[in-house]
């Protein structure tokens, strides 16, 4: 059976297929994931540990002469996601208050649209990006979770982000970067780890989701997922091309589209906000369901959009090659 080949035919398949399997397992057979010890560690709770390994391996592939580009891309992507993901929710809150519009609360909008799924980004960067895109994953990971959402809403005190949070995310990348540059043989040894780890961190991320989340949020949750892909993914694609691709001199940069997703742990953001600001408490449950739906919708659909953009880029490359052929 050619399972791997079949999975790789699916856009972002190494990420999407295990994620779906994890979600279905958690929905219909949750007890299987909670038997304890190694099984639970590998298939339920170990997703971010394995993602840390991916970041380490990605760092090992960055050559010291090329470190500037991954950092530039990483911070550009993070700022794009944070700014455009937050501004829609803030405008909604300003004009419509906590209730929001079209069934979408501002809390859900900011939580979902300003937090990129680092796991999906890593998988897409591995499949469709270059070394600088893969190296940017550690910086992109900074905007996962409730911290920036709290800052966006002007919360102080508990929402202050400890400096150790940023350091903890960057350490695996830096260690990999150092080892890969000290010894080229180590760089070659670590290279297969990037692709190998993707399904192993994807399944546990999926195991934190539930099919019922889609039905609880209804159309509003699906709409939130679509907005996330359009406002941060498609817009991010065009902005990153404006920054990094010079017209007529290079092919389109795909990494801007990689951030058109919602982070899995953004599902916890509404509860954290309600704890800090009780005025959001009445909207916590629906916001949580909407964010969870956006996580699922964007994780499944954004890889297909990126695959289409990749095919479009290949056609442009073929046309560019044909135009440069001597007569």
pLDDT in tens, 290-314: 888 888 889 889 989 998 988 887 8
* Residue, of 144 and 178, whose pLDDT is higher: 178
Give the least confident one: 34-48, 52-66, 175-189, 302-316. 52-66
High-pLDDT (> 70) share of the chain, %? 83
Task: Tell whether the model's pLDDT for residue 186 goes beyond 90.
Answer: yes
Please state, rounded to an integer, the average pLDDT across all residues of the chain.
80
Give the DSSP letter string of 83-131: HHHHHHHHHHHHHHGGG-BTTB-HHHHHHHHS---HHHHHHHHHHH--H
The model's confidence at residue 252, banded by pLDDT at 50, 70 and 90, is low
pLDDT for 57 equals 86
Mean pLDDT score, 209-224: 80
Q: Is residue 235 pLDDT above 50, yes or no?
A: yes
pLDDT digits (tens, 9 = 90+) for 80-115: 898 888 888 888 888 888 888 888 988 899 889 988
- Whole-number pLDDT of residue 230: 94
Contact by Cβ (8 Å): 54, 197: yes
Q: Which two tokens stand for residue 193?
A: 């780890």
Helix-helix angle 269-276:284-323, to 10 degrees: 130
Residues 43 and 34: their CA atoms lie apart, in Å, by 9
pLDDT in tens, 6-32: 887 765 677 678 878 888 999 899 888
Residue 202 burial class via C-beta count within 10 angstroms: exposed 0-12, middle 13-18, buried 19 and up = buried
- Measured between alpha carbons, how far is 153 from 166 in angstroms, rounded to an integer? 20
Candidate ranges 40-44, 62-66, 155-159, 263-267; pick with highest mean pLDDT: 40-44
For residue 161, pLDDT over 60 is answered with no
> For 12-21, 179-188, 192-201, 295-304, which range has the lowest pLDDT when averaged over its residues?
12-21
The Cβ of residue 283 has, within 10 Å, a number of other Cβ atoms equal to: 20
Where do we find the tokens 């994953």?
137
Domain boundaries in the chain? 12-35+45-311
Quick: pLDDT tens for 116-149: 887 788 888 888 887 778 878 767 776 665 666 7
User: Which pLDDT score is estimated for 157?
Assistant: 37
Per the model's pLDDT, the better-predicted residue between 175 and 160 turns out to be 175
The Cα–Cα gap between 176 and 60 comes to 4
Q: Do 122 and 196 contact (CB within 8 A), yes or no?
A: no
pTM of the model: 0.69
- As assigned by CATH, the class of the 12-35+45-311 domain is mainly alpha
């Amino acid at each position: 059976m050619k399972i791997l080949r079949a999975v790789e035919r699916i856009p972002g398949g190494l990420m999407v297929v295990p994620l779906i399997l994890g979600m279905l397992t958690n929905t219909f057979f949750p007890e299987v994931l909670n038997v304890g010890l190694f099984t639970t560690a590998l298939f339920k709770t170990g997703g971010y540990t394995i993602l840390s390994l991916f970041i380490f391996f990605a760092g090992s592939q960055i050559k010291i002469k090329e470190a500037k580009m991954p950092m530039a891309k990483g911070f550009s992507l993070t700022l794009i996601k944070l700014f455009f993901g937050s501004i829609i929710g803030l405008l909604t809150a300003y004009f419509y208050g906590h209730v929001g519009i079209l069934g979408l609360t501002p809390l859900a909008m900011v939580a979902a649209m300003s937090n990129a799924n680092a796991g999906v980004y890593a998988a897409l960067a591995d499949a469709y990006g270059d070394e600088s895109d893969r190296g940017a994953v550690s910086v992109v990971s900074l905007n996962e979770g409730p911290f920036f959402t709290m800052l966006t809403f002007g919360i102080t005190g508990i929402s202050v982000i400890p400096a150790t949070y940023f350091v903890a995310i960057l350490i695996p990348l830096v260690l990999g970067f150092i080892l890969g540059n000290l010894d080229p043989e180590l760089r070659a040894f670590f290279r297969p780890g990037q692709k190998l780890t993707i399904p192993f961190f994807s399944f546990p991320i999926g195991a934190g989701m539930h099919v019922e989340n889609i039905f609880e949020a209804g159309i509003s949750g699906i709409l939130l997922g679509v907005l996330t892909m359009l406002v941060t993914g498609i817009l991010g694609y065009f902005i990153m091309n404006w920054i990094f691709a010079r017209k007529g001199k290079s092919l389109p940069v795909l990494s801007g589209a990689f951030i058109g997703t919602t982070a899995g742990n953004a599902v916890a953001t509404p509860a954290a906000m309600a704890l800090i600001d009780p005025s959001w408490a009445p909207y916590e449950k629906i916001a949580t369901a909407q964010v969870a739906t956006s996580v699922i919708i964007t994780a499944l659909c954004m890889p297909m959009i990126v695959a289409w953009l990749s095919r479009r880029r290949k056609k442009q490359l073929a046309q560019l090659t044909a135009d440069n052929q001597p007569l």
